[in-house]
Amino acid sequence: MKTKRILVISVLLVGIVSYMCPLEAGQSTSSKEKTSYKEVDKIRDVSMHEGTIKRIVARIVIPSGRSEKDVRATLKKAAIEIGKREKAKATDVKGYRTQDKTRTGVYTVGHAIYAPNGEWRDAASDAPMAVTVEVSKNSLYFKSKKTVEKKDRTLKTKNGESIEISSMRDKWGKKYIIAKIPSGTPAKLLNTHKTPLTPEMVFVRYQVSIKWKGKEIKGWVHEEDLN
C-alpha cells in the first residue's frame, strides 16, 4: 500500500513538472517561428530540355526582425520544402520583405537554390541535391525601419538649379515635364514610391504638391530633389 502511494505521488510530481517546464515543446515552437515564411505569387516554370528537366522559381515573404542566421535557415527550408513538393530538379526561392508589394524584380532579402550540387546550371545532373543560400548583411531587409515621413518638405538641389516636375512617375521626357520650380520652394509630400534595384539599393521617387504662381501643381520629383 505504501509503495502504491509513493508511485502515485511520483507520477503527480512528474506531471506537475512537465506542465510547468515544457522546455522541449517551447524550443520546438520557437525554432519553427524563426523559419516560418509565406509563399506568394505564382510559381514560375523555367524548365529546360523541352520540359523534361523541371526548374522553378518561387517567391516567399519573410517576416521582419530576424537575424542573418535565421534568414538563411528560412530560405534553405523553403527551397527544400517547395522543391520537393513540386518535384523539381532545380528550385530557386527568392525572399522578400513584408512591405514589398511588387515582387517581379530583384529579391530584397536573399535567395536559395535547391538543385544538384546546389547549382542552378546543374539541373540536368545526377549529382546529389544540395542548397546554396545567398544573403548580404547589407540587404534592404536588415536596413528596414519604419519611419514617419514629414509631409512638409522643400524642393532643393545642391547647385541651386530649378527642379523639373513630371506628370509621370517613371517618365522625364519633355512632354511629361509640367513645371520647372526654383530650388527652395516649399512642397507637400503626397506619395512615396520605392523600387529595389539590387538587394542592397532602393530607387525612390516622390509625388508632391506645390503652390506656384497661384496654381497647385501635383507631380513627381527625384529622391535627391526633396529635402
Q: Which of 193, 110, 100, 212 is nearest to 155 (CA)?
A: 212
| 45, 129: one domain | yes
**Of residues 89 and 202, which shows the higher confidence score?**
89
Mean pLDDT of 178-202: 88
pLDDT for 18: 35
**Domain boundary pick from 143, 167, 189:** 143
Q: How far is CA 176 from CA 183, 204, 210, 218, in A?
A: 20, 18, 17, 12
**pLDDT classification of 157: cutoffs 50, 70, 90:** confident
Segment 116-144, tens digit of pLDDT: 999 999 999 999 999 999 999 888 899 86
Segment 1-58, tens digit of pLDDT: 544 444 444 444 434 333 333 433 333 334 678 999 999 999 999 999 988 999 999 9
CA distance 60 to 71: 12
| 57, 119: one domain | yes
Report how many domains make up the chain. Answer: 2
- The pTM score is 0.68
| Structural Rg of the chain based on CA atoms | 27
CA distance 112 to 128: 16
Name 210's bridge partners: 217
Which domain does 214 fall in, by range?
152-225
pLDDT for 96: 95
**Of residues 195 and 119, which shows the higher confidence score?**
119
**Domain boundary pick from 95, 120, 143:** 143
| 55, 105: one domain | yes
* Most confident of the ranges 100-109, 183-192, 194-203: 183-192
pLDDT for 148: 57
Report if residue 19 sits inside a domain: no
**pLDDT classification of 145: cutoffs 50, 70, 90:** low
Report if residue 131 sits inside a domain: yes
3-state class (DSSP) for residue 7: helix
DSSP 126: -
3-state class (DSSP) for residue 176: helix
All cell numbers assigned to 221? 520629383
**Of residues 151 and 69, which shows the higher confidence score?**
69
State the alpha helices, DSSP H only, in 59-211.
68-86, 140-143
pLDDT for 150: 80
| 185, 101: one domain | no
| 107, 126: one domain | yes
pLDDT for 88: 98
The pLDDT mean for the chain works out to 84
| 102, 81: one domain | yes
Report if residue 106 sits inside a domain: yes
**Domain boundary pick from 143, 169, 187:** 143
| 125, 57: one domain | yes
Please name the residues in contact with 189: beta carbons below 8 A apart, sequence gap of 6 or more: 149, 150, 151, 152, 153, 206, 207, 208, 226
All cell numbers assigned to 45? 516554370
Report if residue 16 sits inside a domain: no
Segment 48-75, tens digit of pLDDT: 998 899 999 999 999 999 999 999 999 9
All cell numbers assigned to 29? 515552437
Q: Which of 18, 75, 89, 49 is nearest to 199 (CA)?
A: 75
pLDDT for 76: 98
| CA angle at 52 for the pair 50 and 58, rounded to the nearest 5° | 95
DSSP 139: S
Report the percent of the chain where pLDDT is more than 70: 84
pLDDT for 144: 60
Burial of 206 (0-12, 13-18, 19+ CB in 10 A): buried
Which CATH number does the domain housing residue 43 bear? 3.10.310.90
Report if residue 3 sits inside a domain: no
Report if residue 183 sits inside a domain: yes
CA atoms 132, 137, 139, 141: torsion sign: positive
| 57, 112: one domain | yes
| 56, 83: one domain | yes
Q: Which of 150, 40, 61, 132 is nearest to 90 (CA)?
A: 132
pLDDT for 22: 40
| 99, 136: one domain | yes
